[in-house]
Protein backbone atom coordinates (compact mmCIF):
# COMPACT_ATOMS: atom_id res chain seq x y z
CA UNK A 1 0.00 0.00 0.00
CA UNK A 2 1.14 3.55 -0.70
CA UNK A 3 -0.13 6.74 0.86
CA UNK A 4 0.19 10.35 -0.19
CA UNK A 5 -1.36 13.77 0.20
CA UNK A 6 -2.84 13.45 -3.30
CA UNK A 7 -6.52 12.68 -3.95
CA UNK A 8 -7.48 9.23 -5.34
CA UNK A 9 -7.78 10.57 -8.91
CA UNK A 10 -4.12 11.62 -8.90
CA UNK A 11 -3.05 8.39 -7.21
CA UNK A 12 -4.86 6.32 -9.85
CA UNK A 13 -3.17 8.30 -12.63
CA UNK A 14 0.19 7.56 -11.00
CA UNK A 15 -0.62 3.84 -10.88
CA UNK A 16 -1.56 3.82 -14.55
CA UNK A 17 1.46 5.87 -15.64
CA UNK A 18 3.97 3.75 -13.76
CA UNK A 19 2.15 0.37 -13.96
CA UNK A 20 2.09 0.11 -10.17
CA UNK A 21 0.26 -2.77 -8.50
CA UNK A 22 -0.33 -0.85 -5.27
CA UNK A 23 -3.40 0.38 -3.48
CA UNK A 24 -3.22 3.97 -2.26
CA UNK A 25 -4.57 5.83 0.72
CA UNK A 26 -5.26 9.54 0.36
CA UNK A 27 -4.13 11.41 3.46
CA UNK A 28 -4.17 15.12 2.51
CA UNK A 29 -3.63 16.47 6.03
CA UNK A 30 -1.64 13.55 7.39
CA UNK A 31 -4.18 12.56 10.04
CA UNK A 32 -4.95 9.04 8.77
CA UNK A 33 -1.42 7.66 8.45
CA UNK A 34 1.39 10.17 8.27
CA UNK A 35 1.00 11.74 11.70
CA UNK A 36 0.30 8.44 13.54
CA UNK A 37 3.43 7.00 11.87
CA UNK A 38 5.48 10.11 12.78
CA UNK A 39 6.03 10.65 9.05
CA UNK A 40 4.49 14.10 8.62
CA UNK A 41 6.61 17.11 7.70
CA UNK A 42 4.82 20.06 9.32
CA UNK A 43 6.93 22.64 7.49
CA UNK A 44 6.20 21.27 4.00
CA UNK A 45 2.73 19.79 4.75
CA UNK A 46 3.67 16.48 3.12
CA UNK A 47 4.67 12.97 4.02
CA UNK A 48 8.26 12.21 4.77
CA UNK A 49 8.98 8.98 2.89
CA UNK A 50 8.58 6.03 5.22
CA UNK A 51 8.79 2.31 4.52
CA UNK A 52 7.03 0.11 7.02
CA UNK A 53 6.73 -3.67 6.83
CA UNK A 54 4.44 -5.70 9.04
CA UNK A 55 4.43 -9.44 9.68
CA UNK A 56 1.12 -11.30 9.31
CA UNK A 57 0.65 -11.09 13.09
CA UNK A 58 0.89 -7.27 12.94
CA UNK A 59 4.45 -7.03 14.28
CA UNK A 60 6.56 -4.29 12.77
CA UNK A 61 9.55 -5.99 11.12
CA UNK A 62 10.99 -2.99 9.32
CA UNK A 63 10.74 0.78 9.52
CA UNK A 64 12.81 3.42 7.82
CA UNK A 65 11.75 7.03 8.05
CA UNK A 66 13.43 9.44 5.69
CA UNK A 67 14.77 12.74 6.94
CA UNK A 68 13.04 14.80 4.26
CA UNK A 69 11.28 14.50 0.89
CA UNK A 70 14.54 13.94 -1.05
CA UNK A 71 15.68 11.05 1.12
CA UNK A 72 14.55 7.66 -0.16
CA UNK A 73 15.28 4.34 1.52
CA UNK A 74 17.14 1.61 -0.31
CA UNK A 75 15.02 -1.42 -1.17
CA UNK A 76 17.50 -4.09 -0.01
CA UNK A 77 16.99 -3.73 3.78
CA UNK A 78 13.20 -3.95 3.57
CA UNK A 79 13.36 -6.89 1.15
CA UNK A 80 15.77 -8.68 3.51
CA UNK A 81 13.36 -8.10 6.42
CA UNK A 82 10.44 -9.49 4.42
CA UNK A 83 12.42 -12.47 3.13
CA UNK A 84 13.48 -13.16 6.72
CA UNK A 85 9.85 -13.91 7.56
CA UNK A 86 10.01 -17.00 5.33
CA UNK A 87 6.57 -16.40 3.87
CA UNK A 88 5.49 -17.81 0.51
CA UNK A 89 5.34 -15.39 -2.41
CA UNK A 90 1.94 -13.92 -3.15
CA UNK A 91 0.55 -13.41 -6.64
CA UNK A 92 0.61 -9.88 -8.00
CA UNK A 93 -2.51 -8.02 -6.90
CA UNK A 94 -5.16 -7.00 -9.37
CA UNK A 95 -4.82 -3.40 -10.57
CA UNK A 96 -6.23 -0.88 -8.12
CA UNK A 97 -9.44 0.58 -9.54
CA UNK A 98 -11.44 2.50 -6.95
CA UNK A 99 -15.10 2.67 -7.87
CA UNK A 100 -16.21 5.96 -9.40
CA UNK A 101 -12.68 7.36 -9.66
CA UNK A 102 -11.22 8.50 -12.99
CA UNK A 103 -7.48 9.08 -13.32
CA UNK A 104 -6.49 12.76 -13.33
CA UNK A 105 -2.74 13.36 -13.50
CA UNK A 106 -1.40 16.18 -11.37
CA UNK A 107 0.47 19.02 -13.04
CA UNK A 108 3.40 18.15 -10.81
CA UNK A 109 3.21 14.43 -11.59
CA UNK A 110 6.51 12.70 -12.06
CA UNK A 111 6.38 11.13 -15.53
CA UNK A 112 8.77 8.59 -17.05
CA UNK A 113 9.94 11.25 -19.50
CA UNK A 114 11.14 13.45 -16.62
CA UNK A 115 12.62 10.67 -14.53
CA UNK A 116 15.98 10.25 -16.25
CA UNK A 117 16.89 13.94 -16.46
CA UNK A 118 15.78 14.55 -12.87
CA UNK A 119 17.85 11.76 -11.34
CA UNK A 120 20.81 12.31 -13.65
CA UNK A 121 20.89 15.91 -12.47
CA UNK A 122 20.78 14.78 -8.84
CA UNK A 123 23.56 12.27 -9.50
CA UNK A 124 25.81 14.78 -11.28
CA UNK A 125 25.20 17.61 -8.82
CA UNK A 126 25.72 15.50 -5.72
CA UNK A 127 28.87 13.97 -7.22
CA UNK A 128 30.26 17.47 -7.71
CA UNK A 129 29.12 18.64 -4.27
CA UNK A 130 30.72 15.64 -2.55
CA UNK A 131 34.08 16.80 -3.88
CA UNK A 132 33.55 20.23 -2.31
CA UNK A 133 32.63 19.01 1.15
CA UNK A 134 35.30 19.52 3.79
CA UNK A 135 33.38 17.81 6.57
CA UNK A 136 33.41 14.02 6.25
CA UNK A 137 29.87 13.66 7.65
CA UNK A 138 28.51 16.12 5.08
CA UNK A 139 30.42 14.36 2.29
CA UNK A 140 28.86 11.06 3.37
CA UNK A 141 25.36 12.59 3.31
CA UNK A 142 25.86 13.90 -0.22
CA UNK A 143 27.33 10.57 -1.35
CA UNK A 144 24.21 8.82 -0.03
CA UNK A 145 22.11 11.04 -2.31
CA UNK A 146 24.38 10.11 -5.23
CA UNK A 147 23.94 6.41 -4.44
CA UNK A 148 20.15 6.84 -4.20
CA UNK A 149 20.02 8.55 -7.61
CA UNK A 150 22.23 5.85 -9.14
CA UNK A 151 20.03 3.11 -7.68
CA UNK A 152 16.88 4.78 -9.03
CA UNK A 153 18.42 5.16 -12.50
CA UNK A 154 19.43 1.48 -12.52
CA UNK A 155 15.94 0.43 -11.41
CA UNK A 156 14.41 2.67 -14.07
CA UNK A 157 16.47 0.94 -16.77
CA UNK A 158 14.98 -2.39 -15.69
CA UNK A 159 11.47 -0.90 -15.52
CA UNK A 160 11.81 0.67 -18.96
CA UNK A 161 12.86 -2.69 -20.43
CA UNK A 162 9.49 -4.05 -19.26
CA UNK A 163 7.56 -0.90 -20.24
CA UNK A 164 9.04 0.52 -23.46
CA UNK A 165 8.09 4.14 -24.26
CA UNK A 166 5.45 3.11 -26.81
CA UNK A 167 3.63 1.05 -24.15
CA UNK A 168 3.74 3.43 -21.19
Give tens-digit pLDDT for 3-51.
Answer: 888 999 999 999 889 988 788 888 989 999 999 999 999 998 888 989 9
- What per-residue confidence (pLDDT) applies to 168? 55
Q: Residues 110-144, buried b or exposed e (16+ Cβ, 10 A)?
A: eeeeebeeebeebbeebeebbeeeeeeeeeebbee
Q: In angstroms, how far is CA 105 from the centroid of its own chain?
A: 17
- What per-residue confidence (pLDDT) applies to 119? 93
Give tens-digit pLDDT for 49-91.
Answer: 899 999 999 999 999 998 888 888 788 899 999 999 999 998 9
Amino acid sequence: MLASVDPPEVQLAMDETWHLPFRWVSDPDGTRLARPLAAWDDDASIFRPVVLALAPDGREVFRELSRDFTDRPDDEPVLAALEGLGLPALPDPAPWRPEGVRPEPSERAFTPERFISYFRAIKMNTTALAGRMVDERDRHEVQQETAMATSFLDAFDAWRAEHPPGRQ
